[in-house]
Amino acid sequence: MNSMPGKIAVIGAGAIGSFYGAKLAKAGYDVEFLTRSGARKLKNNAVNIKSIWGNFKIKLNAFSDTKFMSKADLIIISTKVLPSIDYKKILTPIVKKDSIILCIQNGMNVEEKLSRIFPKNTILGGLAFTCINRISPVKILHLDYGLIKIAPLLKENFKTASLLTEIFNKTGIQTEAVKNLRKMRWQKLLWNIPFNSLSVVCGGITTDKIVDSKTLTALASDLMKETLEIAKAEGIIIPGKIIQTMITTTQKMNPYKTSMLLDYENKREMEIETIVGEPLRIAKKLKVKTPVLDTIYKMLLFRGNAG
Amino acid sequence: MNSMPGKIAVIGAGAIGSFYGAKLAKAGYDVEFLTRSGARKLKNNAVNIKSIWGNFKIKLNAFSDTKFMSKADLIIISTKVLPSIDYKKILTPIVKKDSIILCIQNGMNVEEKLSRIFPKNTILGGLAFTCINRISPVKILHLDYGLIKIAPLLKENFKTASLLTEIFNKTGIQTEAVKNLRKMRWQKLLWNIPFNSLSVVCGGITTDKIVDSKTLTALASDLMKETLEIAKAEGIIIPGKIIQTMITTTQKMNPYKTSMLLDYENKREMEIETIVGEPLRIAKKLKVKTPVLDTIYKMLLFRGNAG
């Protein structure tokens, strides 16, 4: 891809994939969507987007299997990160040797794993700082924020990340290119680890319950400290004052159900491994002690019927 | 007290106090009971004891305040251990200078705290290894086991512990005198800490759910390891193989609701401080690191609306 991607594939039409994919489609790009559950509904109906960036309706081009889809210049992966998903099988029909793959997903080592399957492709990581609900496959509610940060897995691909950032910004998606992918992911994990985990293991509680409790705030802080130690062990220094910033920010937020809590309540598979298990495996490899994270991980596995 | 206690006071007519107190009353001892909630019912009705040691009915002498009770030769404390209970106020009306005080209670530092209030009295600690349910103030169900272990707070009082053991055994209560009070209490805590705590913080689960889960069994084992470290720091060596014994024993037990879980489910104050908080304060004083116990304690305080 040198300038504009001719064909875009969006893998996973959840809240994130549907919203950003629809924005690209509205801007005139040729976007195809993979969605297991919503394909039939999307084929017959336009999607209704209510967004703080402006409402619109659009017909999306949805498929239930990538074997019916075109080879893509840009592939946006926006599925949950679950051990059960076979990316090799899903992506092979649509990957070309110069396809760019952008993972807008949670957790750690997402891009690294993909690059082992598609070592010749440019892999980028994305994080969405936003509040979007998918009410149904054809009803998307974009309530707040919306920034996407994009960083390359390999430093030499920063140019591609910047180019994509420009393209996204032109379509009205606020986007920022970032140099250090792992630093970006650790910073996001600093919030995701404590708040996703505690919202589930403390019995299904919204974020306000965590920051309103003195002891759970202390526990969230313990988890963040251990996370900073893991990042530090791989050479990424994030100043400790970020912990208080995260807590203060969360205190100012409206009561919020984390994605892990929503999955737990709806008896769906939770992103335990990408958000907690993977950071723990990095800690183990680097000999960082993480007793609090270990404890919470065990309780999460029990909650997810995986322990 | 040189031989037989003339007057016995039982403070707290829960399952333990009612059953053992009734056994003593049936053997002919003059026993008075303090019970906040059940006094009126006990005044008007005989208590119905169904026990594997033999069923019986008996009228108990119950009071709602110690100011109406006699000075006692032997005081058996069988209340829950809660920070809100004022033992000085409760016991002062019935304590003589030679009253023996026996605490059949959970947790750590129970006798030490009492001896600070009544420094001249002989203080003994008791642990009940039994399964007794109080269905109502007048209906007690003794389902299994029943052994009481008695140990003195001060070594020189082992003779008194032995004497009491003889008296109890004669009334049909299986009793054993033990020399090392703290060792006895640490051994009991080895079970109480993990199983009481996890049954509550993992969302209200019976003991079988803990030992059926690989990760929760590992977590229980982590908690026991830290507990052994605290005991070791105060010079009490308990071999580590006890951990596997505790787990195997619990695997063989019928699904069991811990006392802390029963309190949690019934929205009663839990014995968090005596079972977890006090051991943690000992750990802190002795500079033993207990990150897993710290984590579980924070979650317990949140569950008990104390954090």
Smallest Cα distance from B202 to chain A, Å:
7
The answer to whether A292 contacts chain B (CB < 8 Å) is yes
Smallest Cα distance from B197 to chain A, Å:
12
What tens digit of pLDDT does each residue of A229-288 get? 999 999 999 999 999 999 999 999 889 899 999 999 999 999 999 999 999 999 999 999
What tens digit of pLDDT does each residue of A78-98 get? 999 999 999 999 999 999 999
The residues, any chain, with a CB within 8 Å of residue A277's CB and separated by 6 or more, are A297
Domain A183-303, CATH class in plain words:
mainly alpha
One-letter identity of residue A261: L
What share of chain A has pLDDT > 90, as a percent? 92
Query: Is A48 in a helix, a strand, or coil?
Result: strand
Look at residue B38 in the predicted model and tell me its pLDDT: 84
What tens digit of pLDDT does each residue of A159-199 get? 999 999 999 999 999 999 999 999 999 999 999 999 999 99
Look at residue A204 in the predicted model and tell me its pLDDT: 96
Using an 8 Å CB-CB cutoff, list chain A residues near B222. 291, 294-295
Residues with pLDDT less than 50, chain B? none
For chain A, the average pLDDT equals 96
Please, what is the end-to-end C-alpha distance for chain A in angstroms?
Answer: 44
CB B61 within 8 A of CB B34: no
Look at residue A2 in the predicted model and tell me its pLDDT: 55
Look at residue A57 in the predicted model and tell me its pLDDT: 98
Which burial class, exposed, middle or buried, applies to A255 when counting CB atoms under 10 A from its CB (0-12, 13-18, 19+)? Answer: exposed
Tell me which of 3.30.70.3400, 3.60.15.10, 3.20.20.70, 3.40.50.720 is the CATH number of domain A7-179.
3.40.50.720
Residues A280, A299: Cα–Cα separation, whole Å: 14
pTM tops 0.95, yes or no: no
CB A169 within 8 A of CB A223: no
Q: ipTM exceeding 0.85?
A: yes
Q: Cβ contact (<8 Å) for A202 and B301?
A: no
**Residue whose entry in the numeric block shows the structure tokens 């984590």:** B295
Using an 8 Å CB-CB cutoff, list chain A residues near B203. 203, 303
Q: Cβ contact (<8 Å) for B298 and A203?
A: no
Q: Where are the domains of chain B?
A: 7-179, 183-303
